[in-house]
Amino acid sequence: MSLAVLAIILFVSIFLLVLYGYPVAFTLGGLSLIYAFCFLDPAVLSLLPNRVMGVMENSVLLAVPLFVFMGIMLEKSGLAERMLRTMSDLFGRVRGGMAVSVIVVGALLAASTGIVGATVITMGLISLPPMLKKGYPATVSTGVIAASGTLGQIIPPSVVLVLLGSVLGVSVGKLFRAALYPSLVLVAAYVVYILVLGLVKPKLFPQGQTENRVWDAGFVKQLLASLFLPLLLILAVLGSILMGWASPTEAAAVGAGGAILLTWSQRKLSGTVLREVCEDTTHLTSMVFMILLGATTFSLVFRELGGDQFLVQLIERSDLPEYQFLALVMLVVFIAGFFIDFIEIVFIIVPVVTPLFVAYGTDLIWLGILLGINLQTSFLSPPFGFALFYLKGVAPPGVTTGHLYRGIIPFLIIQVLLMVAVLAFPEYLGIMG
């Protein structure tokens, strides 16, 4: 048996063990080391310490704990509830206005945090009971919350894009810049869908407020107090990256510091909150970096076994066109997203296929955006979408799994249409390598 075939068996074995439930980091690293000891010269492993140090010295990856810290701190600030109340007042006279408010707040939280699971749970807790109480159908309510809660997968600053940039070997700043227009189009499409639904099927939504909103000093002050600080934080983080004033890591540090100040301004900052945020950040960051170190070991062994060259030669012999291969990879990533988390997909599947896309001459920035949208779509898809599980866990007893499945379908269609648009017209969406 050739070493290249062993490399493919190694990849399949790891994937199956992860699906079975074994810890990802230890499966990646442990099984790769076993294959290295059994089938390679042990001297190959002398390359591993340098690779590990290369990961640990990568300043771009320092943005991960900083963005995670920023997101968790903002979750503690209570701004989500405040923004939702203000947006509901602002869009109160529009049919479906509260659903529009949830989408807008979800987008703002995504641009402030980038942590999908926490955002879905937070939005489910603070917005689902009021929507149901006001008469919104459970299908519409759950669909809106699940879709808006996962916007953190694609709206920068996204942890997904930071990790994809590291694995693909492209600038995280360029990925953020390329993701900006598609993410805005996605949010706009969600809002337009709700507004059109309110016109076509007005009975689905309760009657909006009949009185005119008085734009007095009190309401203007409330609006500014709810939106000014989050928008200022988003502008400080994203603006500094997009204008070239700061690297993603530097901007993440600004965001982390800004999140502390913002939480303090809401009188929610305390020693207990700070300790909880630090503990949660340490836990999530440790998980990410343990997986990353395991993935580094897997990558070294896979390449020394000749797995990447074998796959390149296999694609060349099959004469598979670039777009057909891209469709195959997207399908695999989409299905894998039913069973394993995006971090595992980024570190297991993406490194294996990246050399093949390089051989095709594919624009890796464009590929990164497609993968980000694909992972977000997979996160929403029945029957195994993680966002649906998160939301079901905090939903009232009357909300069934069937409500979630039916409610998310229109938003999945919008996601697929966006992916087609990115695939066919990347230049019109500002996506350039």
Structure confidence at residue 112 as a pLDDT band (50, 70, 90): low
**What's the pLDDT at 429?**
78
Tokens of 431: 């996506």
Give the residue with greater pLDDT, 19 vs 150.
150
Q: By percentage, how much of the chain surpasses pLDDT 90?
A: 10
Q: pLDDT at residue 192 above 90?
A: yes
Structure tokens at 245: 């004033």
Q: What is the pLDDT of residues 255-311, one digit of tens each?
A: 888 889 888 888 888 999 899 989 988 887 887 788 778 878 888 888 888 877 777
Confidence class for position 341, pLDDT limits 50, 70, 90: low
Q: Which residue has the higher pLDDT, 233 or 364?
A: 364
Q: Nearest to residue 102, comparing CAs of 147, 134, 59?
A: 147
pLDDT mean over 35-40: 88
Mean pLDDT score of the chain, rounded to an integer? 82
What six digits make up the tokens of 69?
Answer: 């810290």
Top-confidence residue, 1 or 305: 305
Largest CA distance in the chain: 78
* CA–CA separation, 102 and 95 (whole Å): 13
pLDDT at position 189: 94
- CA atoms of 256 and 343, how far apart (whole Å): 22
User: What pLDDT, on the 0 to 100 scale, is given for residue 118?
Assistant: 65
pLDDT for 376: 86
pLDDT tens figures, 124-165 = 877 888 888 888 889 999 999 989 888 878 888 787 888 888
Report the predicted TM-score, pTM, of the whole model to 2 decimal places: 0.78
Band the pLDDT of 113: cuts 50, 70, 90.
Answer: low
What one-character DSSP code corresponds to residue 238? I
Q: Which domain holds residue 133?
A: 3-429
Name, of 26-30, 88-92, 285-289, 429-433, the range with top average pLDDT. Answer: 26-30
Is 211 a residue whose pLDDT tops 50? Answer: no
Report in angstroms the alpha-carbon separations of 305 from 10, 44, 165, 300, 430. Answer: 10, 10, 25, 9, 39
- Residue 413: per-residue pLDDT: 92
Q: Give the pLDDT confidence of 367-404 residue by residue, as tens digits.
A: 999 999 998 888 788 766 777 877 887 788 888 888 88
User: How many other CB atoms are found less than 10 A from the CB of residue 44?
Assistant: 15
Structural domain count, the chain: 1
Give the tokens for residue 66: 């900083």
* Helix (H/G/I), strand (E/B), else coil: 294: helix
Kindly state the DSSP code that residue 182 receives in the 8-state scheme. Answer: H
Q: Which of 93-102, 298-307, 418-427 has the highest mean pLDDT?
A: 418-427
Contact 356, 315 (CB under 8 A): yes
Length of the chain: 433
Residue 175 has pLDDT above 60, yes or no: yes
Q: Residue 212 pLDDT more than 50? A: no
